[in-house]
Chains A and B, each alone.
Chain A
Amino acid sequence: MSSSDPIQPHPVGAALVVGGGIGGMQAALDLAHGGIKVYLVERGPAIGGVMAQLDKTFPTNDCAMCTMAPRLVEIGRHKDIELLTLSEVERVEGEPGNFTVSVKKQPRFVDATKCTGCGACTAECPVTLPSEFDLGLGERKAIYRPFPQAVPNISTITRRGISPCEAGCPIHQSGQGYVTLIAQGRFEQALQVILRDNPIPLICGRVCTHPCTAACTRTHVDDPVNLPALKRFVTDRCPDYKLPQPTVPDRPEKIAIVGSGPAGLLCAYQLRQKGYGTTIFEALPVAGGMLAAGIPSFRLPRPLLNAELDRLRAIGIEILLEAPVGRSITLEELRKSYAAVFIAIGAHVERKLGVPGENMSGVTGGVEFLRRLNLGGPVLPGRHVLVVGGGNSALDAARAALRCGAAEVTIVYRRTGPEMPAAQREIEDAEREGIKLMFLAAPKSFQLGHGGRVAGLECLKMKLGRPDASGRPAPEPIPGSEFVIPCDAVVVSIGQVPDIDGLGERLGLATTKSGTLRADPLTLETDLPGVFAGGDCVTGPDVVVGAMLAGKKAANSIDRWLNSRDLRAGRELEGPYHTEYVVDTAGVLMQRQIPVPSLDPVTRSRTFDEVSIGYTAEQAITEAKRCLACGICCDCHLCATACQANAIDYTQMAETQELKVGAIVMAPGYELFDARLKKDLGYGRFPNVLTALEFERIMSASGPYSGHVLRPFDRKEPKRIAFLQCVGSRDCDHDYCSSVCCMYATKEAIIAKEHLGEGLQCDIFFMDLRAFGKGFEQYYHRAQDLGVRYIRSRVPKIEEVSGTRNLIVQYLAENDRKVSGEYDLVVLSVGMQPPKDVKVLAERFGVALNKFNFCGTSTFRPAESSRKGIFVAGPFAEPKDIPETVMQASAAAAQVVSLLREARGTLITPEVYPPERDVKGEEPRIGVFVCHCGTNIAGVVDVPAVVEYSKTLPNVVYVENNLYTCSNDTQEAIKTRISEHHLNRVIVASCTPRTHEPLFRNTLREAGLNAYLFEMANIRDQCSWVHMQEPEKATEKSKDLVRMAVAKSRLLQPLARRSIAVNKSSLVIGGGLAGMTAALSLAHQGFNVHLVEKQNELGGNLKHVHYLLNGEQPQAELARLWDEIRHNDRIAVYTEATIERIEGSIGDFKTTVAGGGKTTTVNHGTIIVATGAREHKPMQYLYGQDERVITQRELEERLVAGDGFLVANGKQPTVVMIQCVGSRDSEHPYCSRVCCAEAIKNALRIKELSPQTHVYVLYRDIRTYGFKEEYYTRARQQGVVFVRYDEDCKPEVAPNGKGLQVSVFDQTLGMPFTIAADAVVLSAGIQPHEDNHQLAQLLKVPLNSEGFFLEAHMKLRPVDFMTDGVFLCGLAHSPKNIEESILQAQAAAARAATILSRDSIELEGNISQVVDESCDGCAYCVDTCPYKAITLLEYKWQGSIKKVIETNDSSCKGCGCCQATCPKKGIFIRGFTLDQIEAQIHAALGVA
């Protein structure tokens, strides 16, 4: 199988890329540039992966974010890459060329089309949580962007859902919302959150039973959060609050509401907010229903109740008193005059005991007693008062009787305390005030006394029986137990019913058997159209908030009914419901609810003063901080208020979409090993033990400590840091090497020393230092030179010093001595693991995993998964570093393009612009657009003043201000203004051109203006955000910046982006494995290739490789490659050929190839350098002098030849292999990367052929990175002896009789060691070809100090040269193995294809231009140009020699080094000319 195999006829021209890390990003860009539409699926809210979290990258110490940020922006803006963040693939169906993929997208709760990423929401958000980006070392808000450069630049809300308190509240007040704000002392905002759903919070804070607290998760820890007390606290704290005025225009419809209790009030409020007129009809002379008539003032002070009612009146709610409907006005009349009616008349009629004597003088109902008291003033029921009942009303009546002057008050209840329906707190309060409780007594009759007045209550003793319908034990009378309680008054308070008598009849409405009104429980509709009923009159007596729910529901129904909308749809979550979240309560300290202070019982029991005093601010904050933040987002809606773009959308839900793609690239990345599993290392227990990535964040300038290297425990600078290698790598659970840790630890040690000075002690504990990559060995030496100590030992255990919390690292030194050292900080180099849910992932995609649960690949198919059409990249395949990830991603892209080549270009969006207007000769007409950026700019800078000022500037003909200049509608507006005002220059005064210039330039192009007639003034990042405390100066500076932009803008000229027609063929130099692979990949992608090889046949070094560690057959593969190339019409092979000359540049090269006695000139658009390298020829260890000393390559030939070499013939031959011959020495200061694995391969082969043969490997570090580690383990198991030597003490080989004697100082044993050997095998390194220099000059590309070709960027552009259109792969780049060569070759092909797939390429306009009149050919610029883009021309003119320079537009990158060097103003960078810069400076200085 190969990627050139035909697939089904009509492939889809789109590909799916899974994972937005650096691998996924590379694949996406290469695909999109190669003509394939891309869907990039990322699980998190932003792309960037782990690289975004890195501070620096090795071995160049580049800032990771600096190098990747432009790439993030490019992806975010690419027209052919659709970014699906917060998304995961659920299913993959179909065949290569035509897959159907289901992608589930989690809600962001922010409308991506509206959000501008301004961050105003984040500033307001009260919820903080540990930042994932900073690995919990720092905090973030619930609405956030993971890092400042995040793409997409859109906020996300972390929202688990509605918190249990909010769900449990009948009217869904955001408990978590106001509690969170109280905890931060933001009381006014907390009140606003409450007012969102509740217009009578003063009342509710006092009398509501608060079902929210019953749902509180904190109950599972200790006590619920005291939401009622907190609500009361904020309302008391801000007593002069107002209700929000309706924000919609008044509507013509008026609604009648009968009853002014909580149900009526809520209904009126809700309807008023929707613009309806509302009139409440109240039968009593006071408003408030049971709140006014039933609840005594010591629980609800009347001035507070009246204040709430006044607030409702203030928003236009009319309350008519003494207006009993059914008596003074009929329901029919209401129906005629009002658009709808809501009946909420409550339940005010007492239930009777039904025992003899109930009508006797001195016996009253509880409600009646309280009503008289509340409406008329204190009334003494008697001196010795009995109150019958156990509910809140009974308690209220008893406590009120005491305050009216009763000497003794006793509550008579037929069950016991725990069954009482009254609130526990009320019962306790009553007892403290001196009220007696008599349980298990049920009235049997009233005893008549003098004057017809009650004198006693005859009761029966009760006992508790089985539970009844209410779930409580039923009281059962004990026969013959009658007794009499003497008294002079009895208050019977056993509940209420609605005003049954003629209620329904009076109103013309149907009633139920229990005497309540009949209404639909969901919609509250009655039988009469337009008449709704709810509250106690429908449900029977209920708590206040139950009635409020009815009012809210009624308002909803009435609104729906009046607007002819469905009354039933979507009301499932109206009213209380149950939610529960798994809230991590581990580590939550027990902290009981703070009791609410109240008046002392003796004083208060004689007055009607309010009993409860309420929290102090300090108490409220402490109590509020007990909240566990169950919903994460607290639903306070402050972000929605802050967002002027109206982008917040709490209603978003998860969505699934189906995508059609032709192929898939999987780059889902990796997980770091969970260091907690290595218990002895103390991670998670000891605060100063960190993982390397955590330390990376600490060192980052944008990290949690702003780049100050501090240890977490005491934020002190560490003086001694230990780095522990191989944590979660190279152990029995992970028999692989994570490949990157040695170098990242080295990097972190170097950078830490840069931060804290050379005095910082950095010790790296390691087993083998695996510095195998390009430039790594030198980097390792640099670290040693800087004083980083490398200690060869695996640390088994770390202990903590109490007090200082320093760490004791115990280890065995190489000489077996036990050593321990004390450190301030320990950094664990944690290894790479497959993603946590890798098995689910593999199953969904149908790809196989290897035994380590990575998606292993094969040597010759290094980017392919087990499923055809699905390719892999990055550490998901095998632990690897950034450049290998990038190469594999590009290689995967090449494979995809090969597979889908017939559909290339079918799904990408063409760029179509109107013809460009010629502005030549026009006076500049500048339009300035000043952005508010919500409040980001306007909150500090006086934007109108900047606008007015801008109007005064020369050539400015139009100025406007925009809320968000980057929004889609403003782009349209800008286009209109350009045409209306005939603008020929545009300035946007807003944010940074680094992110927004491409957008606005595109807008100009769409309006027919040249893109370069645009300039930005960055008044956000440079004014409002950095001078927040000095608004006037920020405004002045903003004016200056606009003036500077205008000054430059007046000098702007349209710039042409030169277009070059692309020759769709490529030159590949070198016909080894890399060159052949690159050539085939390009041919499979549909491009012609000229493959030039200097030898007489293709194959290079691969011809000498006969077997591989994993058993694959290299010679069979080589034969296949030969065959494929021979039969591929697109590939022209030139053998025994050399490159004579290369002219031209990207898209259009012309090369002269000499070979076979003739020269040929070929034209091509790109070049791939794949010239390889050679085996080092040893000069030591008797090589060339004794035939028993051979190289590994020669050994392999001998073993394959089967000539009996080293085969045991009755004896036990001994082979000694010596590593690092021609590597890692002063002449070759680099690691050849492959020799360790080669030696192990051959050692295993010897053991296989002849198990008795002794094999010794003399090594310095075994560098079997990745999955090759397994073979190292296997070799040791099979008896291969590994002896470590030191560079300073190299082995010696001497003839010894018939054999050879090898002497070595064994560093592990610390003693010399002699081996009698039959053969010595040298692991000769890889050396660059000497003629690289010649080729580098032809190509104008650089070599590194060792003579290998130097790529454009070691991490992110590993196959590109700085010279556009020229690419690099294979051993010419650096030593690498077969798999890596293939990947890099395919990657080079992918990169070349991004150019070859286009018909033409546009070059950037900001490049150099020569002013011939000024240039005198001094040629200073020629040397200074980093791109060798300038040539000196000499010509004869009028008899004398003239000199002038010429620049190559295709090579010039516009850095401007030439412009700064030229003494004569003879060359400049278009768009950044000296005149333009000077104009800006002069404008800044206020000189003309």
Chain B
Amino acid sequence: MEDNFQPLIIALCCNWCSYAGADLAGVSRTQYPPSIRIVRVMCSGMVHPNLVIDAFTKGADGVLICGCHLGDCHYQEGNYKTEKRADAIKLMLADFGIEEERFRLEWVSAAEGPRFGQVVRDFTEQVRKLGVSPYKL
């Protein structure tokens, strides 16, 4: 494994809480590694499991889904559905030979800018340790 390996992570963030949390990380100048590429979705509940698998098979080193805290969903219950789908995604990952640790679901509120940074730092480090995606090798 390269020591200076910088993973490439796709982050799907819901518009109302976690994308706003990422914005607040910016406003607060919270520094985190330049590893993530954020794709804005209206609700974490709109992320089809196939999108996650597709991202991995196309070479993503990690995939992060971020939504509102449970109970905070702008659409009432979208994130509960996300939570269930995340379990399904984890099962699918095994079939594709992808370590479960490359995928993460996190709840980040609009007020948790620094926490968003922390999530990115932690997850980046976790993925970094796993090394380059098997689909890239």
**Contact (A1477, B41) CB under 8 Å given A1021-B25, A1487-B59:** yes
**Size of the chain A interface, CB-CB below 8 angstroms:** 64
When chains A and B are docked, how far (Å) is the Cα of A1034 from the Cα of B35?
10
A1474 within 8 A of B: yes
Partner of A1460, one of B26, B45, B117: B45
Task: Map CB proximity to A onto B4-30 as digits: 1 under 8 Å, 0 otherwise.
Answer: 000010101001110110111111111
Closest chain A residue, CB of each to CB of B37: A1484
Task: Map CB proximity to B onto A1258-1280 as digits: 1 under 8 Å, 0 otherwise.
Answer: 00000000000000000000000
Are B51 and A1455 in touch, CB under 8 angstroms?
no
Are A1481 and B76 in touch, CB under 8 angstroms?
no
- Distance from A1267 Cβ to chain B, minimum over Cβ atoms (Å): 33
Are B37 and A1456 in touch, CB under 8 angstroms?
no
B68 within 8 A of A: yes
Closest chain B residue, CB of each to CB of A1362: B76
Are B31 and A1485 in touch, CB under 8 angstroms?
no
Are B72 and A1485 in touch, CB under 8 angstroms?
no
- Distance from A147 Cβ to chain B, minimum over Cβ atoms (Å): 10
Partner of A1034, one of B15, B34, B110: B34
Residues of chain A within 8 A of B20, CB atoms compared: 66, 69, 994
Are A1480 and B39 in touch, CB under 8 angstroms?
yes
Are A994 and B113 in touch, CB under 8 angstroms?
no
Instruction: Kindly name the residue among A62, A1036, A1454, A1480 whose own CB sees the greatest number of chain B CB atoms within 10 A.
Output: A1480
Partner of B43, one of A1021, A1037, A1456, A1461: A1456
When chains A and B are docked, how far (Å) is the Cα of A1426 from the Cα of B42?
14
Are A1022 and B47 in touch, CB under 8 angstroms?
no
When chains A and B are docked, how far (Å) is the Cα of A706 from the Cα of B48?
34
Partner of A706, one of B31, B55, B114: B114
Are B72 and A1481 in touch, CB under 8 angstroms?
no
When chains A and B are docked, how far (Å) is the Cα of A1469 from the Cα of B17?
19
Which stretch in A134-142, A191-199, A1024-1032, A1299-1307 binds the other chain? A1024-1032
When chains A and B are docked, how far (Å) is the Cα of A65 from the Cα of B41?
20
**Contact (A1018, B39) CB under 8 Å given A1453-B75, A1481-B55:** no
Partner of A994, one of B19, B31, B34, B55: B19
Closest chain B residue, CB of each to CB of A1016: B40
Partner of B10, one of A1020, A1457, A1484: A1484
A1152 within 8 A of B: no
Residues of chain A within 8 A of B10, CB atoms compared: 1481, 1484-1485
Partner of A148, one of B27, B49, B55, B85: B27
When chains A and B are docked, how far (Å) is the Cα of A1406 from the Cα of B40?
13
Are A1459 and B48 in touch, CB under 8 angstroms?
yes
**Contact (A1474, B77) CB under 8 Å given A1026-B25, A1037-B37:** no
**Contact (A1018, B8) CB under 8 Å given A702-B111, A1029-B31:** no
Are A1485 and B39 in touch, CB under 8 angstroms?
no
A61 within 8 A of B: yes
A536 within 8 A of B: no
Are A1484 and B111 in touch, CB under 8 angstroms?
no
**Contact (A1426, B77) CB under 8 Å given A1044-B37, A1481-B60, A1485-B8:** yes
**Contact (A992, B23) CB under 8 Å given A66-B109, A1481-B54:** yes
Q: List which B106-124 residues lie within 8 A (CB) of chain A.
A: 109-115, 117
**Contact (A1459, B39) CB under 8 Å given A61-B71, A1029-B31:** no
- Distance from A990 Cβ to chain B, minimum over Cβ atoms (Å): 12
Partner of B114, one of A65, A701, A993, A1456: A701
When chains A and B are docked, how far (Å) is the Cα of A66 from the Cα of B113?
12
**Contact (A60, B71) CB under 8 Å given A66-B16, A148-B24, A1044-B37:** yes
Residues of chain A within 8 A of B42, CB atoms compared: 1406, 1454-1456, 1469, 1472
When chains A and B are docked, how far (Å) is the Cα of A1022 from the Cα of B34?
9
- Distance from A893 Cβ to chain B, minimum over Cβ atoms (Å): 24
A265 within 8 A of B: no
Residues of chain B within 8 A of A64, CB atoms compared: 111
Residues of chain A within 8 A of B68, CB atoms compared: 66
Q: List which A75-129 residues lie within 8 A (CB) of chain B.
A: 119
B38 within 8 A of A: yes
- Distance from A1059 Cβ to chain B, minimum over Cβ atoms (Å): 22
Are A1027 and B34 in touch, CB under 8 angstroms?
yes
Closest chain A residue, CB of each to CB of B45: A1457
Residues of chain B within 8 A of A1044, CB atoms compared: 37, 39
Are A1026 and B23 in touch, CB under 8 angstroms?
no
- Distance from B135 Cβ to chain A, minimum over Cβ atoms (Å): 10
Residues of chain B within 8 A of A119, CB atoms compared: 27
Are B25 and A62 in touch, CB under 8 angstroms?
no
**Contact (A1028, B29) CB under 8 Å given A1459-B46, A1487-B58:** yes
- Distance from B12 Cβ to chain A, minimum over Cβ atoms (Å): 8
Are A1021 and B23 in touch, CB under 8 angstroms?
yes
B134 within 8 A of A: no
When chains A and B are docked, how far (Å) is the Cα of A1424 from the Cα of B82?
11
- Distance from B8 Cβ to chain A, minimum over Cβ atoms (Å): 7
Instruction: Kindly name the residue among A66, A1034, A1482 whose own CB sees the greatest number of chain B CB atoms within 10 A.
Output: A66
**Contact (A1027, B23) CB under 8 Å given A66-B110, A1460-B45:** no
Partner of B111, one of A700, A1023, A1469, A1477: A700
When chains A and B are docked, how far (Å) is the Cα of A706 from the Cα of B41?
27
**Contact (A1025, B27) CB under 8 Å given A63-B109, A707-B114:** yes
Task: Map CB proximity to A onto B49-72 as digits: 1 under 8 Å, 0 otherwise.
Answer: 111001100111000000011011
Partner of A1478, one of B29, B51, B60: B51
Are B29 and A1460 in touch, CB under 8 angstroms?
no
Q: List which A979-1033 residues lie within 8 A (CB) of chain B.
A: 992-994, 1018, 1020-1023, 1025-1030, 1033
A1040 within 8 A of B: yes
When chains A and B are docked, how far (Å) is the Cα of A1167 from the Cα of B128?
55
Closest chain B residue, CB of each to CB of A1471: B42
When chains A and B are docked, how far (Å) is the Cα of A63 from the Cα of B16?
11
- Distance from B92 Cβ to chain A, minimum over Cβ atoms (Å): 13
Closest chain B residue, CB of each to CB of A147: B27
A1041 within 8 A of B: yes
Closest chain A residue, CB of each to CB of B34: A1033
Are A701 and B112 in touch, CB under 8 angstroms?
yes
Partner of B51, one of A1040, A1469, A1477, A1487: A1477
- Distance from A1039 Cβ to chain B, minimum over Cβ atoms (Å): 11
A55 within 8 A of B: yes
Are B81 and A148 in touch, CB under 8 angstroms?
no
When chains A and B are docked, how far (Å) is the Cα of A1482 from the Cα of B23?
23
When chains A and B are docked, how far (Å) is the Cα of A599 from the Cα of B59?
72
- Distance from A639 Cβ to chain B, minimum over Cβ atoms (Å): 18
Residues of chain A within 8 A of B45, CB atoms compared: 1455-1457, 1460
When chains A and B are docked, how far (Å) is the Cα of A62 from the Cα of B33?
29
When chains A and B are docked, how far (Å) is the Cα of A1480 from the Cα of B72?
27
**Contact (A707, B115) CB under 8 Å given A66-B110, A1037-B34, A1424-B81:** yes
When chains A and B are docked, how far (Å) is the Cα of A1406 from the Cα of B41?
11
**Contact (A1456, B19) CB under 8 Å given A1026-B32, A1033-B34, A1481-B51:** no
- Distance from B117 Cβ to chain A, minimum over Cβ atoms (Å): 7
Are A1040 and B37 in touch, CB under 8 angstroms?
yes
Residues of chain B within 8 A of A1481, CB atoms compared: 10, 39, 51, 54-55, 58, 60
**Contact (A1485, B71) CB under 8 Å given A1037-B37, A1472-B42:** no
Closest chain B residue, CB of each to CB of A1460: B48
- Distance from A1063 Cβ to chain B, minimum over Cβ atoms (Å): 27
Are B76 and A1025 in touch, CB under 8 angstroms?
no
**Contact (A66, B17) CB under 8 Å given A55-B111, A1026-B31, A1027-B31:** yes
Which 8 A/B pairs are nearest by Cβ-Cβ distance? A1456-B46, A1021-B26, A1455-B75, A1484-B37, A1025-B26, A66-B110, A1033-B34, A148-B27
- List 7 additional A-B contacts (Cβ < 8 Å) besides A66-B17, A1481-B58, A1485-B8: A701-B109, A992-B23, A1021-B26, A1022-B22, A1454-B42, A1469-B42, A1472-B42
What are 5 inter-chain pairs, A to B, with CB distance below 8 A? A1018-B23, A1029-B31, A1037-B37, A1460-B85, A1462-B48
